C-alpha cells in the first residue's frame, strides 16, 4: 500500500501562542512517530505547493482572503478565542490547503492508496468567511 505523506517546514513557522494545543510540537511528534514505527522511509513524500487564489475562491470569498492576508501581514494576533496567527501563518495556510489538494490529485491519478497531510494550520473547522477552531482555510 502506498501512503502519500505531505508536510512542509513552513508549517513550523505558524504560531498560535504559548501553551496553545495547536503547536509546532504536533508536527514534530508525527515525524518522530513515523521514525519510531520504522515506516518513515515507506511513505511517499509529497511536496506541497501553495493553494492558488483560484483554488481558495471555490470556498473562501475574496474579501475574507484579503482581510486574512492583511491581518497576517500586519503581524497577526487573535482571530477568535481559539485561532491566532503570526505573519508567517499566511504562507503556511496556503501550503496547508495546497497539500490537501496535491494529495487528492495524486490519489485520483493512482499514485497512492491513502494520503496523510501533516499540516499547520489545520483546515477542517474554518467557515467560508471566518477562521475557526485553529483553522484558516478548508
Contacts of 102 (CB under 8 A, 6+ apart): 6, 46, 47, 48, 49
> Choosing from 14, 20, 60, 125, which is the catalytic residue?
125
Active site residue 125: yes
**Of 97, 99, 118, which Cα lies nearest the Cα of 31?**
118
Phi and psi, residue 34, nearest 5°? -60, -40
Neighbour tally for 57: CB within 10 Å: 12
Beta carbons within 10 angstroms of residue 111's beta carbon: 14
Closest CA to 20 of 88, 83, 92: 83
The residues that are catalytic are 125
Amino acid at each position: 500500500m502506498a501512503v502519500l505523506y505531505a508536510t512542509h517546514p513552513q508549517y513550523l513557522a505558524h504560531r498560535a501562542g504559548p501553551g496553545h494545543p495547536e503547536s509546532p510540537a504536533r508536527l514534530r511528534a508525527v515525524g518522530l512517530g513515523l521514525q519510531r514505527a520504522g515506516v518513515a522511509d515507506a511513505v511517499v513524500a509529497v511536496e506541497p505547493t501553495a493553494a492558488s487564489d483560484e483554488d481558495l475562491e471555490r470556498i473562501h470569498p475574496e474579501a475574507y482572503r484579503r482581510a486574512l492576508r492583511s491581518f497576517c501581514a500586519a503581524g497577526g494576533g487573535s482571530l477568535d478565542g481559539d485561532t491566532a496567527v503570526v505573519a508567517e501563518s499566511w504562507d503556511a495556510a496556503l501550503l496547508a490547503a495546497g497539500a490537501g489538494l496535491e494529495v487528492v490529485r495524486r490519489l485520483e491519478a493512482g499514485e497512492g492508496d491513502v494520503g496523510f497531510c501533516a499540516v499547520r494550520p489545520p483546515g477542517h473547522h474554518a467557515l467560508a468567511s471566518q477562521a475557526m477552531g485553529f483553522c484558516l482555510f478548508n
